[in-house]
Structure 1
């Protein structure tokens, strides 16, 4: 197991309290990549790594990193109170890229908020080229846009946006009030800059804000080339449907190669790189694991003795940082309680390479379960205590299946598992279409004026509602008669298999904690196979219900409940 193998998605690095990935290449020019923020960054994270790999293949070393207070970098988002903190990160990153690779020419590239900072900082960090992708709106208009986006998404998922100390909360990603105020005051200097580097602007069709930025670049003295960011909308779609804009990335590579980016540098440095982050309360480092060490994870350990280690599994297509950065937050708070963790990206997710020959579906697969067992192989020799697994949604399913197959697993905390076992008659598409709300929630909503309005106005088509509800009703009916039909029906065979799995867990003494949002559809799955009192008869198992949250467990109190469930489960292991 090595910490710095060659990987398509780069070598994990850390510097000045931020985490990132270095994609080394032989060219004279390097590219400093400034990412968008929050939910957009999480959505495009894998594609952002693909852009870095694309540029590295063209001969351009790339450094992509997480802003302070975001993703794997140190700090809590609400503790970041000034935009200057991010500006300092840009300065440090530019120095790091130059000193670790030996490049003598620098391109600064950014998207969203990162694009604005790329423009602003290009002169100070002495950039030789500038690439601006779908820039955010400047000043108050940009903050209003974030706020409006937050309200729209919150309404769709029925989640609260109020978080103490936050001025902006987009799907659990927050900006502090002082930081948002600073961002609202942000305005690009439109006076001519001596030696302004040539700039490529990837502009979204029919976006007035992008036209304004083009004019600002010209006013600053940049020689501006404008290309269409044709695939932007499909790129920033939800992670499961996000399409990497390969043709747009080729435009960037072609532009930089045209500026001499492929010329080889005279010196090539090979410094010792580290991915370690070590604040007082914990220690983190990246570990590559699995076949050919193509999988990525972050090991987080306490400063004292480790009581146990929990592997945190991807939820759906979320990267290892977790929805609303919950895996990072939980990992570091667990370390403060003396518990180690290993937050991982399974094959084809986040910052892990795709398995050779793999294509199509990445979750609810045997490959994902094998990846979890590979993670156990990686951390078992570290002797950090009993091994646990935890995940949400598809990650919960994968954790349960991996735990059932691996005797090293001593406990599992499964959150909002929509499936406890896969029905061979159900396609992946049907599973996704069935939604994440419980039948009880649909019954409650059926009595609401809001649902009636949505049906009457065709905002929610009757067929869509029926497609989500009907399988749940039929599944419960089938489960009711399964004890009488036994192995003669599919549901009977599935129920028997699950009961055998539960008996196996109990025989091994594996502690099982199932955590559900009050209205989560996973509760229907649990009732379908285990009845209205699922933990009765299973002394090793516990079910916890969390109110006031939804399937993603976005609310801070819901994430705290997951943290407590893991901590309490670890405590049971020492009894």
Structure 2
């Protein structure tokens, strides 16, 4: 497998407000891959593995676009402006951009955590996504919000990070260092995964029973467990990048096999 050196950073969207990096494949392909990032701290922790995955997929002949939602990364807007519905619109815009740049007939999407949830929601909303691979998708938004709140409260009192616990007023409206609006909070809290659009591959690194995934997504979804488990909600490892070579290998292998199915 060869790795193309060409990674093109650019701005796109109706007002040029979205930032993306296009990974050119060595040859034309009927399929292209859109990488849908998670939000907040998970976005930061997944940056390296998303780039590794993009380089791997481009190296095996599939052009890739990774991008930042409005209010995230290098796109326009601030963290407090991140909005679930706008993120779905951004995914649709990124899918159109990827299809136009690559000439691919089909756009496949990969996402981790909330990135997987939004990819599934966008696919259900006819955003131009033909297939989704999901890594530890959030399926119960209320449970996710409760976990984020609990971690935020623990972080506020963590004397390993701060000389003394911060006052609640200093940390209100945040999730682990990122401002979160009441609108986004409510949108995430109301999210429930459904079987309307199921991932073709679900990668589980949380050791969740396969029967629970089957109940959500049905029998057509291939489920693959990854080890070691990913410490998404471990406060002690919050600043550590999420690295998983098995994840990159599993995604690349899955789409390579489906190309010949």
When normalised by structure 2's length, the TM-score is 0.82
C-alpha displacement at 1:142, in angstroms?
1.3
1:19-59 per-residue CA deviation (whole Å, 9 max, x = no partner) reads 12111213221111111111121122112111111111111
Change (3 A) 1:15 1:187: same
Of 106, 117, 131, the residue aligned with 1:129 is 131
Match of 1:184 in 2: 189
Equivalent residues of 1:231, 1:248 under 8 A apart: no
Match of 1:572 in 2: none
Greater alpha carbon shift after TM alignment, 131-140 vs 49-58: 131-140
Give the whole-Å Cα distance in 2 for the aligned partners of 1:86 and 1:169: 18
Give the whole-Å Cα distance in 1 for the aligned partners of 2:190 and 2:199: 26
Equivalent residues of 1:134, 1:229 under 8 A apart: no
Match of 1:247 in 2: 246
Match of 1:279 in 2: none
Structure 2 matches for 1:55-70, cutoff 5 A? Answer: 55-70=57-72
Give the whole-Å Cα distance in 2 for the aligned partners of 1:34 and 1:86: 10
* 1:20 is the counterpart of 2:26: no
C-alpha displacement at 1:217, in angstroms?
1.8
C-alpha displacement at 1:227, in angstroms?
0.8
Match of 2:81 in 1: 79
Match of 2:50 in 1: 48
C-alpha displacement at 1:185, in angstroms?
1.3
Change (3 A) 1:242 1:169: closer
Of 227, 232, 235, the residue aligned with 1:230 is 227
Give the whole-Å Cα distance in 2 for the aligned partners of 1:232 and 1:35: 19
Change (3 A) 1:43 1:169: same
Equivalent residues of 2:110, 2:134 under 8 A apart: yes
Give the whole-Å Cα distance in 1 for the aligned partners of 2:185 and 2:53: 29
Give the whole-Å Cα distance in 1 for the aligned partners of 2:215 and 2:254: 20
Equivalent residues of 2:31, 2:107 under 8 A apart: yes
Number of residues of Structure 1 aligned to a counterpart in Structure 2: 245
Change (3 A) 1:122 1:12: same
1:296-355 per-residue CA deviation (whole Å, 9 max, x = no partner) reads xxxxxxxxxxxxxxxxxxxxxxxxxxxxxxxxxxxxxxxxxxxxxxxxxxxxxxxxxxxx
Match of 1:320 in 2: none
Change (3 A) 1:115 1:152: same
Change (3 A) 1:62 1:160: farther
Give the whole-Å Cα distance in 1 for the aligned partners of 2:167 and 2:250: 38
Give the whole-Å Cα distance in 2 for the aligned partners of 1:112 and 1:140: 14
Q: More relative contact order in 1 or in 2 (CA 8 Å, sep 6+)?
A: 2
Give the whole-Å Cα distance in 2 for the aligned partners of 1:163 and 1:59: 51
Give the match's secondary structure for 1:202: strand
Structure 2 matches for 1:156-235, cutoff 5 A? Answer: 156=158, 157-158=161-162, 160=166, 162=168, 167-170=173-176, 172-190=177-195, 193=196, 199-207=200-208, 212-218=212-218, 223-233=220-230
* 1:97 is the counterpart of 2:98: yes
C-alpha displacement at 1:168, in angstroms?
3.4
Equivalent residues of 2:42, 2:232 under 8 A apart: no
Give the match's secondary structure for 1:135: coil
Change (3 A) 1:78 1:238: closer
1:180-199 per-residue CA deviation (whole Å, 9 max, x = no partner) reads 11211122344xx4xx5761
Equivalent residues of 1:235, 1:245 under 8 A apart: no
CA RMSD of superposed structures (Å): 2.8
1:141-168 per-residue CA deviation (whole Å, 9 max, x = no partner) reads 1111111122233333236485689633
Equivalent residues of 2:139, 2:193 under 8 A apart: no
Equivalent residues of 2:198, 2:217 under 8 A apart: no
Structure 1 runs of 4+ aligned residues shifted over 4 Å read 161-166, 234-239
- Unaligned 5+ segments in structure 1 are 1-5, 264-575
Structure 2 matches for 1:8-407, cutoff 5 A? Answer: 10-16=7-13, 17-25=17-25, 26=27, 27-80=29-82, 82-123=83-124, 124-156=126-158, 157-158=161-162, 160=166, 162=168, 167-170=173-176, 172-190=177-195, 193=196, 199-207=200-208, 212-218=212-218, 223-233=220-230, 237=237, 242=241, 244-260=243-259
Give the whole-Å Cα distance in 2 for the aligned partners of 1:182 and 1:87: 12
- Unaligned 5+ segments in structure 2 are none
Equivalent residues of 1:166, 1:177 under 8 A apart: no
Change (3 A) 1:179 1:205: closer
When normalised by structure 1's length, the TM-score is 0.39
